[in-house]
Structure 1
Amino acid sequence: MNTPSRSRTRLLIVSVGSLVGQNILDSLEYEEWNRRDRVHIIGTNSIASSPNNFRCDECYQVPTTGHIDYPKVMAQVLRSTQPDLILSARDADTAALWRLLDSNPALPGAIPYGNLETIIGALDKGKSAAFCKAHGLPFADTLVLQHSDDIDKLHAFASQVGYPMVAKPIEGFASKGVYFVRDAQEAEYFAQRRDYLFQEYLGPGDALQDYFERLDGPKPLFAEVPEVNHHTCHIPIAPDGRIGEIFVLHNHHHFGAVTRMQRAARPDLEELARRFAQAFIADGGAGALSVQFREDRNGNNKAQEMNLRTTGSTFARLMMGQDELGFLLNEWLPEHDFPRFSRSEPAYDLVVSKSLYSYSTWQDSVETLEQTGHWKAAAQPT
């Protein structure tokens, strides 16, 4: 096999069809600081019809992360494409990639994620709670039942944190599969699910009463949970443990999606985020750490989730002044001298997340990817 040309940095984006993949691509194509011609982008995705696939220079259709063939297929992609840096768009990808590269040291590609222990600490919500407890960090009170018949423990936990509680997948993302638990009967239902845990609800629980009453009556076509917003602290950590600029966003939700992001001046959250970063560093963590905070019913800030990857706000933060992608490429590939975006004053401190672009593709491109597992842009130098 011929060795690919090194004229451009070879960047592999795993699950490129996701919102996070879109944010990485948008950050490279940002018109005020276009760096797209500096990278050869390889994408992988399990869904062939995603428009993001065809914004890459080449894309591979691969099995879902949990599929038995995923490690073998991904290893073949790595050998064929020889990436310099690998970015994952989902937490499950991050853990799967680390395991693959750790068990196959000859495979090419660096991943900016510290170590497996901290990756799992961010992916597994039960381990996130244990990590924070071990380091004295505030995290939503969490219960993981070891046995479905530990009902006494469940009821004691409910008495401690109060209803409504939250039931969520132990390994989940983007609020998928998250439920409110309003009473003991609903709690016992989720106690039978071994892949779920219980958490205190961070926020004004009394504000949910009208919402619950609407759901108990005739069912609305769409329903929005009131007063759901949170602050996210984004903390870039270099491989040697240096902490970059801590960036605080106030995220506003609309029908379950973050649609309004505003930079917040919150020294208290910045200091709290620094403590989280120092704990990750102490355990060997590095990369793009983000921590979501909300106030509990007593007004105390607690984390409700942690991620160790780029996020769905990566492009919004670039427009506000934080170049997360440039940080990762420069810290893990310093010899590539990748351009960093900067401006003396951020152009925006508020972004309403509405796409201004329409990405589509030709049906024959989708069919090529589905039938051969590989699509490559025409007349693209590598």
Structure 2
Amino acid sequence: MIRFKMPSLGADMKDGTLAEWRKQPGDFLQRGDIIADVDTQKGLIEIEVFSEGTLEKLLVQEGEKVPVGTVLALIRPVKGHEKEEEELPVTSVDLHPIEEAKPSELPKSTKERIKISPLARKIAEENHVDITQLKGTGPEGAIVKADIEKAVSKKGKEEAEPIDLKPVPPSVESIRMAVAAAMSRSNREIPHYYLEKRVDMSNTLEWLREANKNRPVQKRLLPLAVYIKAVAKALDEVPDLNAVWDNGLVRKNEINIGFVVSLRSGGIVVPSILQADSKTVDEIMDAINDIIPRARAFRLRSSELSESTFTISSIGEGGADKVYGIIYPPQVGIAGFGGISEQAFAVNGMLGIHPVMDITLAGDHRATDGLIGSRFLGALTKYLQNPENL
């Protein structure tokens, strides 16, 4: 039996609230299916399952807050994949299956009560939906998230106005506290070393101008997409930095690049582009355009928060010349891209004015050293100066 656990969505996460089950016992699960919604300091996160099988039992009630690592459900694996059970570590928790996922009840009248999941209730209240007029499609007729979404969509059409369907976002304070916890751990546990390199960005900017010349605005490439692809290629050459530190260096097979997104309400979140090394620059740009709005609306998936293997921070146009990152544990490196500015720069012995960017690397000295970091910056520079090879 596969034990499906409360995932860790970052070094700062200690627990989460099971907001709503998306699947019920007897449902067949495929890799990538959303099994539940979990409420965290970073907002409401869709939790994916990464094994195939039949959902056997739910072990945690909706609305219950549990620590990371708690077994949430049992999944019976597909025949022939029984070994998957051995690959998942087991936490020391009591496995007391709940009889059924019982939604909370709200009074409808003295004779009748409404069954509704905690998450559906939260979204209904935020979007002013009258739940007494709804018929639930969940277990035993309970109202679930999908029912509220349908009601809000119908309401929007009737009023001929778009309605922004979303639960109450986390507070700025809670996001700041989550970031503070991760960064405090990083400074406390990780011995950082720092390297930096100045890079002539003439070829990259010219390549972007040519690539965007005949594109509509919404399809244009941004420098961030190039940075992510170049970092992925460099990590492929220097795999020691595509790793985590877990009582030793653990190299990762996939290259998933996290990137810092600033939130309009304050604070940051760090979603990731999964398998960035196998994506084209255009595909990475599409992923960025999809992820950033969802990140700012607190609608990310668990894999986008928990699977990153390396992080980048980009200041953007008109920002500081340099940015020195703090490693996001348990990763072992972070690259910082400063603003591009025109500077005196020598190329082939000829001094001229070129668009120049300072790139920094913060590395975990337990896992790597300056020589490995220098090799990474050298490979990154090579790809930025030859973007046609990306």
Q: Which has the larger radius of gyration?
A: 2
* TM-score in terms of structure 1 length: 0.26
Higher relative contact order (CA 8 A, sep 6+): 1
* TM-score in terms of structure 2 length: 0.25
Q: Which has the higher helix share?
A: 1
Q: Which has the higher strand share?
A: 2
